[in-house]
Amino acid sequence: MSTASPASVERGASLRLGLPGFAAALLRALIPIAIALVVGAILLAVTGWDPISVYRLMAQEAFGDWAAWQGTLAAATPLLFCGLATAIAFRAGAFNVGVDGSFVLGGLAAAWLGAELTGLSGWLLIPLCMIAAAIVGGLWSLPAALLRTRLGVDEVVSTLMLNYVAIGLASWIVNSLLLANGSANSASDPIAPQAQLPTIGSQATMTIGLVIALVAIVLFALWSTRSSSGFELRLAGLNPRFAEATGIDVLKVLGGAMVVSGLVGGLGGGVHALGVVHRFVDGFSPGYGFTGIAVALLARNGAWGLIPAAVLFGALASAGATVQLISAIPLDIVDVLQGTITILAAAQLVGLWRRRKAAA
């Protein structure tokens, strides 16, 4: 098979199951979730918890009322950005797993500008911070994109490694250059009040960042299905040799997709800095970039699938945090569920990656 790329995930589903594309995709996305719930239930039962009541409580905390929904959606916002960023690269057949790095550095850039340019009005400052975050995120993925397209260096390795460089770099900057006055705990100065993203709803963490994420996803949906370059992105991912033979510069598409991916990741970091954290702190991203990979995999790189996938992982994170507050249920159960879904969704990715290696 020469279609070995993450992008072929989307279409392969309908072929193998003989179902209409949508139903098959839904089913294939639900299988990892179902298995994860079973695994979690077994663990809970073994450790003396009643799985049904734990799951009921978690569902309650994630979706029980409007406040719970808001918590879930707020938690889903960074995942929407990271999932989208990952999906863009995956679609082109570029295994960019470095979105976390772009997210962190984008957040740092936005937090720095937001704290620095206190004289500007919010109307100017917020877009400026966002643009800076996106540019920094895009630039961060440029080296890996160039290594891949110019020298053939595997982007899986380079982007994965650059994540740690990004996190270390951001940590060093926040502890030296940007350390807040009188602060000893690795945090930068808080951003100007007018740089904080306006909230929507009643909770502080659900901001217009969610709207920005949804707009970005709609734009991606339109771009990927209705533009010439979106068409190239898809063909390059589905069958690079074919794309090359029809005159598409696959390497250019691949590199471009990686940069756009970093751009979106950086934007996500900016939104997180201005909307939630209001400054930059060490440990800014608890692995949003990696959860984003799981989101993209579960969504099979389709634009619309990103939304339920991000909401699912957002729900797990949000419910996990509150469940732990009000009961003795260990937070680890959330990690188990999240991990199992990710592994099952990723199993496919690894298979595809190996096929690509074999084909190369």
Partner 1 sequence: MHALVGENGAGKTTLMRMLFGLDRPTEGTVVLDDAPVALASPADAAARGIGMVHQEFKLVDELTALENLVLGREPMRRGRIDWAAAREQARELARESGAGLDWDRPVAELPVEARQRLEILRLLHRRADVLILDEPTAVLGPAQVDDLLELLRGLRDRGRTIVFISHKLREVLQLADTVSVLRGGRLVETLPAAAADRDTLVTLMVGERPPVVSLAHQRAAAPAHSPAPALAAQSLGLVDRDGRRRLDDVDLTVRPGEIVGLAGVAGNGQDELVETLVGLRRPTSGTVAIDGRDVTARSVAGRRRAGLGFIPADRRGEGLAIDSSVADNAIAGLHRSDRVARGGWLKPGARERVAQAIVDAYQVRCASLKLAAGRLSGGNQQRLIMGRELAREPRLLIVSQPTRGVDVKGAAYIHGQLLALRERGVGVLLISEELDELAALSDRVVVIAGGRIAGEVAGPAPDLNAVGALMTAAPSGLKEAA
Binding residues for partner 1 (CB under 8 A): 2-3, 8, 11-12, 15, 226-229, 231-232, 234-235, 238-239, 241-249
Work out how close the CB of 239 gets to partner 1 at its nearest, in angstroms, rounded to a whole number. Answer: 4
Work out how close the CB of 22 gets to partner 1 at its nearest, in angstroms, rounded to a whole number. Answer: 13
Nearest to partner 1 of 63, 242 (CB atom): 242
Nearest to partner 1 of 121, 227 (CB atom): 227
Work out how close the CB of 145 gets to partner 1 at its nearest, in angstroms, rounded to a whole number. Answer: 19
The one-letter amino acid code at 43 reads L
Nearest to partner 1 of 234, 278 (CB atom): 234
| Cα–Cα dist 159/93, whole Å | 14
Nearest to partner 1 of 200, 221 (CB atom): 221
Sign of CA dihedral 111, 117, 122, 125: negative
The one-letter amino acid code at 143 reads P
Work out how close the CB of 230 gets to partner 1 at its nearest, in angstroms, rounded to a whole number. Answer: 8
Tokens representing 245 are 């033979």
| Cα–Cα dist 55/333, whole Å | 10
| Cα–Cα dist 25/42, whole Å | 27
Nearest to partner 1 of 59, 245 (CB atom): 245
Q: Are 298 and 108 in contact (CB under 8 A)?
A: no
Tokens representing 168 are 């270390």
Work out how close the CB of 244 gets to partner 1 at its nearest, in angstroms, rounded to a whole number. Answer: 6
Nearest to partner 1 of 75, 94 (CB atom): 94
Tokens representing 203 are 């909770």
Based on its alpha-carbon atoms, the radius of gyration of the chain, rounded to whole angstroms, reads: 20
| Cα–Cα dist 26/21, whole Å | 9
Work out how close the CB of 91 gets to partner 1 at its nearest, in angstroms, rounded to a whole number. Answer: 13
